Structure 1
Amino acid sequence: MTTRRDSSLFQTSPSLIITRRQTLALGAGLTALAAGLPRLAGAQTSLKVEGGEIKPIPIAIPNFVPGTPADGEVAAGVTQVITNNLRRSGLFIPIDQAAYLEKITNIDVPPQFQSWRAINAQALVTGRITRQPDGRLKAEFRLWDIFSGQQQTGHQYFTAAEFWRRIAHIISDQVYERLTGEKGYFDTRIVFVDESGAKDRRVKRLAIMDQDGANVRYLTRGEDLVLTPRFSPSTQEITYMAFGQGDPRVLLYNIETGQRETVGNFPGMTFAPRFSPDGQRVIMSLQQGGNANLFVMDLRSKSTTRLTDTPAIDTSPCYSPDGSRICFESDRGGKQQIYVMSAGGGPAQRISFGEGNYSTPVWSPRNDFIAFTKQGGGSFAIGIMKPDGSGERILTSGFHNEGPTFAPNGRVLMFFRDTGAGPALYTVDVTGRNEQRVPTPSFASDPAWSPLLS
């Protein structure tokens, strides 16, 4: 680790270990060195809730300082990605750079805190991007509390130059966590169904992108109809349905290698495969005659266990974070409702009792909510309720909203909305605030949020 003139700004800690799986997920090598500081008792800046309203934090993010003029473009790009991430979260208000009174030229020197207080900044992010002799980028940042005049955290990373956006997401997560007390969600990816072409001849391809819509990559070519992609807890595998030749198939796709594996060719229709939290099993719904029941397959032995046996349609199963329970939708009571049962099967408890139909339940990673799609009164709504069914709250509603998926910190939901022309992806906070569209190259549906990559 490089020696600095003021050792109080950075403290040495053990290197972060990046596994081979994580490294390959980047597409090449990423080595990270981190120098983290403990939380400072004197730091005053944090997210505030007043009268039930969240008060976003005014934060200043000057352009990262380039190590050389040639690093200027990347430095500005990193700054912009961090700014966009924090703004889109709805928890921060980045201050316009035109208002800055101090120009940051050396991040090793403490900033002029009075200049930042004068523009009402509560937090300040400073950083530097330097290209190393071997071509890698060295990214450094510091987060300052303007009230206390102290550094809250500081880290440095080394990465191949093409992965500068990934570093910007990691820095965004560090800032988010330090100021909100919750894990971030920016260093993540979204797998979704890309839809292009005429409405009556729509081509559906499996695609993956960063959570902000960048770095879109297509995983299938469109020969088969693909539906309901879902991430493995390892983030390197996806399970999804494919309709093409013969019976519908449940497939595993390895993001690292591009290899596909058929989990099983099942008679009749197969719906909504999803991984267990340990990644060792896939749960799904299999149609047999006029009804559908839940089955789970062990991916090692390929043995299948039946979990429900009713003359109804049971589908869209999802595990609780600890893997002990399952939520699913069923029309066993006459219309679609949400039920919860043990992961091994047995009696199921109905938890939804409002007007309309409930579908596509998904358990929050924090185990505090189950999200759902609710249909009634000519509209589709995205909502949440506690796992016992209490506290139901609608977050957003419209002509056709469907398919919620949680960010790994459980604070944000992504879903798709189709207003007639074609579907698009949106995010909304679990409070119902800050609804935003996520950019995609074409129409997009069936999103699934990955765990944190780092």
Structure 2
Amino acid sequence: MSMLRTLATALTVALSLTGGMALAQQGPLRIEITDGVIEPLPFAAPTFIDQGGAGQAASDITRVVAADLAGTGLFREIPSSAFISQVSGFDAPVAYNDWKAINAQALIVGAVTAQGDRITVKFRLFDIFSGQQLGEGLQFAGTRGTWRRMAHKVADAVYARITGEGPYFDSRVVYVQESGPKDARQKRIAVMDYDGANVQYLTDASSIVLAPRFSPDGSQILFTSYASGFPRIYLMNTANLSVRALDQQPGTMTFAPRFAPDGRKVVFSLEQGGNSDLYELDTQSGQRRQLTNSPAIEAGASYSPDGSQIVFDSDRTGSSQIYVMPAGGGEARRISAGSGRYNTPVWSPRGDLIAFTKQDGGRFHIGVMRTDGSEERLLTSSFLDEGPTWAPNGRVLMFTREGAGAGGQAALYSVDISGRNLKQVPTQGPASDPAWSPLLP
């Protein structure tokens, strides 16, 4: 059973644990959800064993693993001061009763080896109440500079085994880094780990840039730039940071691009003569086709995971609402039905939900709805929340939040699809327009 069908307001989920584990009399690891309240699962993560040359890296990797898990709100780390037993070696027997006495339900045992620039990390996961190892141990290897990625991979494996869901820690986020006063912001594209570490800047601040978006394989980034004096869409190669313009049509403005699941086609908005419609472009052949033909403003398009449909926002009925149509164009059906204005719809990678921005009653919200528009739920509320992006596993959303007044700064926040665990994502100054990468290989 997959964990946390969180659109229901009251349910209890028992997690099935794979990997050949025999269940104890107490049952499998369990997370209870009642009226949106989850009791985090307590886990212990003793500092990984230094099996040679690891030094501080062993402790650093352990801390990142623990922070990843605790940061979800689904897990609670037991402090080392409460430990009765210590882990003396990677292969040492587990004193299950000692861990059970401090209410640990999961135990992560790891080891790190380093030689020259190479580092190896391995781990095992134990279910304390069943007295069994959960699945097989895993090992990751890389350079010293990639130690954080290896820590994220360990946390991903633990998360997936306990929840039955796909992981998302070993991923990156592209976004717009902002500086300067609110009425004269300078903007450049940056990329970071999902938790704000390892920031890299991909463009300078010589022109305004907006809405960067990863390709499905993470090798390219689409974005909108005002380098020409008008908004146009560009394509960046993430390996060498080379940039080329797409679909340069005289007398037009192009914006809000997003990749199709095949990584070759792009849907975007094109404004000409005061009218904005959706177009699809083949990035290799340059062939373009028009998808909508309406006097309305149509933007914010996003493909379904299978590439068969497109969701977008349009003010064809007088206020901006959410519509779904076949990916090749054709009749669109409105799916939003609540009060207020809807924008920036984004299809979940799971295919089951659509996230959106909503403006209603003087407040902005990030929300989710089923793909037919049913079961709408608002997850946030503030002066300005906008532009949701999905984590690779479809469980967490990241978005921009901006404060009121001249001093209000844009910042990145995340929230899970139950509306829980709202928190700010650390960035080096004001930031906006986040877009999550796929899970890294």
Report the TM-score range of the alignment, normalised by the length of the smaller protein. Answer: over 0.9
Matching of residue 411 in structure 1 with residue 395 in structure 2: yes
Q: For 1:326-365, list aligned pairs within 5 A.
A: 326-365=310-349
Give the superposed CA RMSD.
1.3
Name which of 431, 434, 438 aligns with 2:418.
Answer: 431
Q: Which deviations, in whole Å up to 9, do the C-alpha atoms of 1:12-51 show, x marking residues without a partner?
A: xxxxxxxxxxxxxxxxxxxxxxxxx934243644342343
Distance across 2 between alignment mates of 1:352 and 1:189: 31
Aligned to 1:74, the other structure's residue is in SS state helix
Contact 2:29 2:127 in 1 (8 A): no
Distance across 1 between alignment mates of 2:245 and 2:161: 42
Contact 2:22 2:132 in 1 (8 A): no
Distance across 2 between alignment mates of 1:46 and 1:452: 26
Partner residue in 1 for 2:143: 160
Distance across 2 between alignment mates of 1:182 and 1:152: 15
Matching of residue 40 in structure 1 with residue 24 in structure 2: no
Name which of 206, 212, 221 aligns with 2:204.
Answer: 221
TM superposition score normalised by structure 1: 0.89
Contact 1:45 1:122 in 2 (8 A): no
Partner residue in 1 for 2:131: 149
Name which of 251, 272, 286 aligns with 1:302.
Answer: 286
Q: Offset of 1:416 from its aligned partner?
A: 0.8
Q: For 1:165-204, list aligned pairs within 5 A.
A: 165-204=148-187
Q: Offset of 1:327 from its aligned partner?
A: 0.3
Partner residue in 2 for 1:444: 431
Contact 1:45 1:179 in 2 (8 A): no
The one-letter code matched in structure 2 to 1:294 is L
Aligned to 1:287, the other structure's residue is in SS state strand
Contact 2:119 2:144 in 1 (8 A): yes
The one-letter code matched in structure 1 to 2:390 is F
Aligned to 2:54, the other structure's residue is in SS state helix
Q: Offset of 1:54 from its aligned partner?
A: 2.7
Aligned to 1:258, the other structure's residue is in SS state coil
TM superposition score normalised by structure 2: 0.92
Aligned to 1:302, the other structure's residue is in SS state coil
Aligned to 2:153, the other structure's residue is in SS state helix
Q: Indicate the larger mover: 90-99 or 328-337.
A: 90-99
Partner residue in 1 for 2:77: 94
Contact 1:65 1:72 in 2 (8 A): no
Distance across 2 between alignment mates of 1:315 and 1:384: 18
Partner residue in 1 for 2:374: 390
Q: Offset of 1:65 from its aligned partner?
A: 1.0
Distance across 1 between alignment mates of 2:19 and 2:28: 15
Gaps of 5+ in 2: 1-17
Distance across 2 between alignment mates of 1:47 and 1:118: 18
Distance across 1 between alignment mates of 2:343 and 2:414: 18
Aligned to 1:79, the other structure's residue is in SS state helix
Q: Which deviations, in whole Å up to 9, do the C-alpha atoms of 1:172-207 show, x marking residues without a partner?
A: 100000000001100000000000122222110000
Distance across 1 between alignment mates of 2:118 and 2:329: 52
The one-letter code matched in structure 2 to 1:215 is N
Aligned in 2, Cα 1:370/1:50: closer, same or farther, shift over 3 Å?
A: closer
Distance across 1 between alignment mates of 2:439 and 2:48: 24
The one-letter code matched in structure 2 to 1:274 is R
Contact 1:190 1:211 in 2 (8 A): yes
Contact 1:173 1:185 in 2 (8 A): yes
Distance across 2 between alignment mates of 1:159 and 1:447: 28
Name which of 377, 383, 392 aligns with 1:399.
Answer: 383
Matching of residue 324 in structure 1 with residue 311 in structure 2: no
Percent of aligned pairs with the same amino acid? 51
Distance across 1 between alignment mates of 2:73 and 2:148: 20
The one-letter code matched in structure 1 to 2:90 is I
Partner residue in 2 for 1:12: none
Distance across 2 between alignment mates of 1:255 and 1:290: 34
Partner residue in 2 for 1:29: none
Distance across 2 between alignment mates of 1:107 and 1:377: 57
Distance across 1 between alignment mates of 2:225 and 2:373: 33
Distance across 2 between alignment mates of 1:364 and 1:208: 21
Distance across 2 between alignment mates of 1:47 and 1:371: 28
Distance across 2 between alignment mates of 1:163 and 1:90: 26
Distance across 2 between alignment mates of 1:77 and 1:255: 28
Aligned to 2:57, the other structure's residue is in SS state helix
Name which of 105, 113, 117 aligns with 1:135.
Answer: 117
The one-letter code matched in structure 2 to 1:442 is G
Aligned to 2:367, the other structure's residue is in SS state strand
Name which of 252, 256, 273 aligns with 2:239.
Answer: 256
Aligned to 1:398, the other structure's residue is in SS state coil
Contact 1:417 1:425 in 2 (8 A): yes
Distance across 2 between alignment mates of 1:39 and 1:269: 57
Contact 2:22 2:130 in 1 (8 A): no
Contact 2:313 2:342 in 1 (8 A): yes
Q: Offset of 1:376 from its aligned partner?
A: 1.2
How many residues end up aligned between the 2 structures?
416
Aligned to 1:264, the other structure's residue is in SS state coil
Distance across 1 between alignment mates of 2:22 and 2:316: 55
Q: Offset of 1:150 from its aligned partner?
A: 1.1
Q: For 1:67-78, list aligned pairs within 5 A.
A: 67-68=51-52, 70-78=53-61
Q: Offset of 1:66 from its aligned partner?
A: 1.1
Distance across 1 between alignment mates of 2:208 and 2:345: 23
